Amino acid sequence: MPTFTRTWWGQRFISALEEFTDVGRLGRGRSYARNGRILSHQLENGTVKAKVRGSINPYFGVYTEPLYTTTVKLKPISRTDWTKVIADVASKAGFVAKLLLNEMPDAIEDAFSSRGLHLLPDSKSDFTTHCSCPDWSDPCKHVAGLCYLLAAELDQDPFLLFELRGLSREQLHADLARSPLGQILASELTPSEVPLEPLQSYFTRPAKQPASPVASLKEFWTGAKRLPPPIEPSTGPSVPALLIKKQGDYPPFWKKDASFVDVMEALYERVRTKSPEMR
């Protein structure tokens, strides 16, 4: 089954929906989300309201393409509980830093589960859905399509979860910034203004430099420091044919009775006398 989301929180959102929704309606809902049948949707006061193009279905007496109003809402968290959760979140520097950077901490659910709450939907009771279509099932394929679309948007903006639970992004940042850790981290994350200094020109202006003292001819040609002494050329080996003689008279590869060194000396002598270039 192809997935709509890549993040763990998006997949958790879809998993909760798939636990209590008919498989056939889920498939049609994915098709609605992919094919642009959800014309518009907006989040306001924790509720997502959408306009969805329906299908012609004579069985339900629908002979022209209808336009349905579909809503999805998560069970809101009370302001009292939000205050307790934010106090727990604000005590952990890792949570505060990521949330102030608009990132979702991996273990964010721990701050909610310790108080018997959930940020991500956990069961059917977390969802409140409605659709104006004649389908008796709840959720219908239009609701399922809207949920799949929301899961895809959660990948890009995980803070929609907080808004669906009743806490806006601005309120979350304000609450975190008031905590001791939040004040420290917010001051570090706030860019400091660097005062601008106007310049008359972007080019380097020439400036006068004091002239260096005139050197004598001897200093000019020899320099301020004496050069190191020249390196003496290396002399050749004192023993001629050193590589040959290192093998000895009878090296392991030599199977003849005559000395290997004698044979090679005779060979090189013949080459030297017969080739003038070798002299």
Number of domains in the chain: 2
Whether the per-residue pLDDT at 279 is higher than 70: the answer is no
Predicted local distance difference test score (pLDDT) of residue 138: 79
Q: Which domain holds residue 175?
A: 8-189
Determine the Cα–Cα distance for residues 135 and 59; give it in Å rounded to an integer. Answer: 11
Q: What confidence tens digit (pLDDT) does each residue in 174-200 have?
A: 888 788 777 776 665 566 677 777 777
Of 237, 261, 258, whose CA–CA distance to 247 is shortest? 261
Predicted local distance difference test score (pLDDT) of residue 50: 93
98 and 16 part of one domain? yes
- The backbone torsions φ and ψ at residue 206, rounded to the nearest 5 degrees and listed phi first, read -65, 145
Predicted local distance difference test score (pLDDT) of residue 1: 40
Query: pLDDT tier at 276 (50, 70, 90 boundaries)?
Result: low
* Adjacent-strand bridge partners of 68: 52
Q: What confidence tens digit (pLDDT) does each residue in 46-66 have?
A: 899 999 988 887 777 777 888
Give the residue-averaged pLDDT of 250-266. 79
Is residue 30 assigned to a domain? yes
Both structure tokens of 81: 């509980």
156 and 75 part of one domain? yes
Query: pLDDT tier at 99 (50, 70, 90 boundaries)?
Result: confident
Is residue 132 assigned to a domain? yes
Q: What confidence tens digit (pLDDT) does each residue in 2-25 have?
A: 466 778 888 888 888 888 887 888
Is residue 3 assigned to a domain? no
Q: Please state the pTM of the whole predicted model.
A: 0.59
255 and 181 part of one domain? no
CA distances from 67 to 64, 104, 154 (A): 10, 35, 25
Say how many C-beta atoms besides its own lie within 10 A of residue 169's C-beta.
14
The label of the residue with tokens 């000895």 reads: 248
- The backbone torsions φ and ψ at residue 66, rounded to the nearest 5 degrees and listed phi first, read -90, 170
Residue pair 152/143 in contact (Cβ under 8 Å)? The answer is no
Is residue 62 left, alpha or beta, with left meaning phi > 0 and alpha meaning psi from -120 to 50? beta
DSSP state of 159: T
Of 165, 129, 123, whose CA–CA distance to 29 is shortest? 129
Of 186, 39, 27, 32, whose CA–CA distance to 100 is shortest? 186
Of 140, 142, 170, 165, whose CA–CA distance to 154 is shortest? 165
Give the residue-averaged pLDDT of 105-111. 84
31 and 155 part of one domain? yes
DSSP output for 112-137 = HHTTT--SS--SGGGEEEEESSS--S
